[in-house]
Amino acid sequence: MKPQYGLFIRQLIRVCGNNGYWLKNLGSVGDKPIWFIRTAELNPDLPNLLIVAGFHGEEKAGPWGILKWLEAKKEVKANISCIPIVNPTGFNLGKRYNTWGEKSNGGFYLTKKGNGPSEEGKILIANKDLIIASSKDGMLSTHEDITSKDYYVYTFEHHRIPGKFTCGLLETLGKHFEKPLNNIQVNTDASDPGPYVVNGLVYRYCDGSFEDWLFKEGSARTAVTETPAHRIRLQRRVLATIDIINKFIDLCIEGD
Ligand code: ZN
């Protein structure tokens, strides 16, 4: 497979230049930076939302969806920050984990089962203050399940049962894909075996993942969306990702 990172970053830098976004290198994995992007001017009266993708290198719709969303430059009533590719060495080769095979979405805090953070995780943790401030009112991490034809989400809300935020994200995925994954056990980077997905949902599952960590650190709500990628064209998954990003922003602005 042709390396992808250079092509993606060239387009990302062009879009950021054209649309006046601010870029920061959070740190490099090997020779590849993890880029953090946000609107140049922060408005202190608006919510702070973080959108990330590319924890797993073979899950392409998230990074490309964020890039297309940034390109469209939609005006929103929120301070938006993005990390389009968390795992640049994995993305470059279309491989799930980084060059050293480390699992990227675990170890953000110590759990009984999990390992410590990967190289990417260490860089995110080193930028903790910036990341926590950027995700204060919500964080969305877009993933894909390349083995599945069905969609699902992992969410964290400050309610005993899933609220508007979770339901809104599931509803949006339901507009793009046939049905939610149901009664299937899935593995996460920090737990193998992992949780059961029931009616497309895993709710408040604590395993030291990025979304779990930021919720514990005080984010109002966090989510992982899993677009199904088994025999579904990339373009369709990218369009779904853009729709999910827009819905996530609307739901966070609306609040609980
Ligand atoms: Zn993933």
Cα distance between residue 219 and residue 214, in whole Å: 6
Structure letter (DSSP) for residue 58: T
- 241 C-alpha to center of ligand 1: Å? 14
Span from the CA of 188 to the centroid of ligand 1 (angstroms): 8
Contact yes or no for 47/138 (Cβ under 8 A): yes
* Residue 228 backbone phi and psi in degrees, to 5: -75, 135
- Average pLDDT, stretch 33-49? 96
Q: What is the pLDDT of residue 97?
A: 97
Pick the CATH number of 5-254 from 3.30.160.250, 3.40.50.300, 3.40.630.10, 3.90.1150.10: 3.40.630.10
The Cα 181–Cα 88 span in angstroms is 29
**Mean pLDDT of the 3-11 span:** 93
Residue % of the chain over a pLDDT of 70:
100
Grade residue 40 by pLDDT with cuts at 50, 70 and 90: confident
Span from the CA of 189 to the centroid of ligand 1 (angstroms): 9
Give the pLDDT mean for 49-57: 98
Q: How big is the CA angle at 188 (ends 235 and 118), to the nearest 5 degrees?
A: 95
CA of 244 to the centre of ligand 1 (A): 16
Question: What's the CA-to-centroid distance between 239 and ligand 1, angstroms?
Answer: 18
Q: Can you tell me the distance from the alpha carbon of 51 to that of 43, in angstroms, rounded to the nearest whole number? A: 17
At residue 3, does pLDDT exceed 80?
A: no
Examine the pLDDT at 31 and tell me if it is beyond 80: yes
Would you say how long the chain is, in residues?
256
76 Rama class: left (phi>0) / alpha (psi -120 to 50) / beta: beta
Other CB atoms within a 10 A radius of the CB of residue 60 amount to 22
**Tokens 């990967």 map to which residue?**
118
Distance 61 CA to ligand 1 centre (A): 11
**pLDDT tens digit string along 89-147?**
999 999 999 999 999 999 999 887 778 999 999 999 999 999 999 999 999 999 999 99
Distance from residue 55's CA to the centre of ligand 1 (Å):
6
The CA-atom distances, in angstroms, between 194 and each of 117, 137, 138, 140, 151 are: 18, 27, 24, 20, 17
Expressed in angstroms and rounded, the spacing between residue 143 Cα and the centre of ligand 1 is 4
Backbone angles phi, psi at 39, to 5 degrees: -60, 140
Residue recorded with tokens 């930028």: 127
Kindly give the distance from the C-alpha atom of residue 41 to the centroid of ligand 1, in angstroms, as a whole number.
31
CA 58 to ligand 1 center in whole angstroms: 8
pLDDT in tens, 224-239: 999 999 999 999 999 9
By the 8 A CB rule, do 210 and 127 touch? no
Gap from CA of 53 to ligand 1 centroid (Å): 9
Structure tokens of 132? 């926590």
Kindly report the pTM of this predicted structure: 0.97
Could you tell me the distance, in angstroms and rounded to a whole number, from the CA of residue 197 to the centre of ligand 1? Answer: 15
Nearest partner of 168 among 73, 84, 243, judged by Cα: 243
How far, in Å, is the centroid of ligand 1 from the Cα of 229?
Answer: 11
Q: 43 C-alpha to center of ligand 1: Å? A: 32
